[in-house]
Amino acid sequence: MTFRHFTPTLLLLLAACGSGGEPSHETAQEEHDGEAGHAEEGKIKLTADQIAAAGIRIERPMIGGSGTIDLPASIEGDPQGTQVVSAAIGGRVVALTRNLGQSIGHGQTLAVIESREAASLNAEVNAASARLSLANANLAREQRLFAQRVSPEQDLIAARTAATEARIALRLAQQQVSAAGARGGSLNRIAITAPISGQVIARSVVLGQTVAADAELFRVANLSSVSLSLNLQPQDAGRVRPGAAVTVKAPGREAHAKVGFVSPALDPATRLVPVIATLPNNDGQWRVGEPVTASIALSDSGGDGAIRLPSTAIQTYEGQSVVFARTQTGFQAMPVTLGENTSGSVIIRSGLKGTEEIATTNSFTLKAELGKGEATHEDH
C-alpha cells in the first residue's frame, strides 16, 4: 500500500479558529515544508491540542486473553432436574398435598386419585397375593407328602409350578400398581408420588377435578442448579466449547456458569446455534424464566500472545486495513492483517508489535485527513 503526504486541513482549521481565524505562521510553514519536502508516507502531523480537539482517544493494544461475547439469555429449569408428574390412570382428584413453591421429597405423595381402574388394580394385587399364599401352602403340603412317600413326585412338581406362576402373577400386579402410583389407603385410590426431590413449580389440577390417563398434574424441579439458554451466531459458536466460562448478570446479581452443550445444528427457525450452560443455584437467587445477560469466554486461535484492538481503531484505506499509531509529531498509518472480530474487538494477525499507542476513538477523522492529503498532493 502506498501512502502520500497530506496536510491535516480539518484539524488545522479547528486550531486556526481557536487563535483568531488565521493559521499561525508556524503552522503554515509546516504545511508548506511538508508539501515541498515530501515527508514520510502515511504520516499525520498533529499537536496534542489538536488531538484533544478532535476527540481522538489513544490506547495500547490488549495482549492475550480469549475475549468474550455478550448476549441476552434466559434462565430455565435444568432438563435433568425437572420432572413432569402425570396420572397413569384416569379418575377424580380427591387429595392434593402440595401447592406451588412447596418442597417435596422423592416418593412423597403429591395427589390421590379415586377411580374404578384403581380399584381393579388394587383388587388384582390382593387376589394375586391370596393365590400365592394358597399355592405356597399347597407346595408345603406336597413336599411333606412326598417326603413321607405318600404323594408321587409328579404332584410335587405341579405344586412348585403353581407356586411359581402365582409369584409371577403377584409381581405383575404390583408392577401395574407401581406404574400407576402407590396405594392411596383404600381399594379404589391411587397415590401420585414425586419422582424426584425438589419444588413444585407447576400445578394444573384442582381438588375434585376429573383427569384423564397420562394428564399432567404437576411439575417438580430440583432448582439447586438451573440452565442458561442462549443462542449464538454460527461464527461465534465455533469458538465456544463445553466447559467455557459464562458470567451471568442481572440487576444487583452476578454469578458464574459453565457451558454444557453447544448444538451441532442450527435452530431451523432462528438460524442460530442453541447453547446451554449450567448455573449453580443453591441459594435460589435465580428464577426460571428470568431474562439475564451472559458473557461467554471464547477460545482464542491467536494464542496467549494475540494482539487485540477495539474494532473502532480499524479503518480501511486504499483497500487495506490500517490503524493509526501515535508518533512524536502526530500519527502514522500502519497496514495490519486482521483476525477474528468478536464483540467489539479484533485480533491483529500482523502489522503491530503490541507496544504501540493506537487511536481507537474517532480514528475515522484521521482516515478523512489521509484522503484529503492525497487529494491535495495530486492537485499540486
Give 338-354 pLDDT, tens digit per residue: 877 765 778 888 889 88
Q: Single out the residue of 376, 368, 379, 378 nearest to residue 333, CA to CA.
A: 368
CATH architecture for segment(s) 89-221: Beta Barrel (2.40)
Q: For 173-229, how does the pLDDT look when each residue is reduced to its tens digit (9 = 90+)?
A: 888 887 776 554 567 888 888 989 888 988 999 999 999 888 899 999 888 888 899
Give the mean pLDDT per block of 10 residues along the chain (380 residues). Answer: 44 41 40 40 86 90 71 85 86 91 89 86 89 94 91 91 94 83 66 89 91 90 88 85 88 90 92 92 86 81 67 89 93 88 76 90 87 57
Count of C-beta atoms within a 10 Å radius of residue 330? 19
pLDDT at position 348 is 86
Q: Is 9-64+303-379 a domain of CATH 2.40.420.20?
A: yes
The C-alpha atoms of residue 192 and residue 95 are separated, in whole angstroms, by: 10
pLDDT at position 5 is 41
Q: For 265-287, how does the pLDDT look when each residue is reduced to its tens digit (9 = 90+)?
A: 999 999 999 999 999 988 888 88
> Helices 25-37 and 9-18 meet at what angle, rounded to 10?
170
The C-alpha atoms of residue 116 and residue 180 are separated, in whole angstroms, by: 13
Q: Where are the domains of the chain?
A: 9-64+303-379, 68-78+223-297, 89-221
pLDDT at position 323 is 94
Ramachandran angles phi, psi of 31, nearest 5°: -65, -45
Write down the CATH superfamily of domain 68-78+223-297.
Answer: Efflux pump adaptor protein, beta barrel domain (2.40.30.170)
pLDDT at position 118 is 80
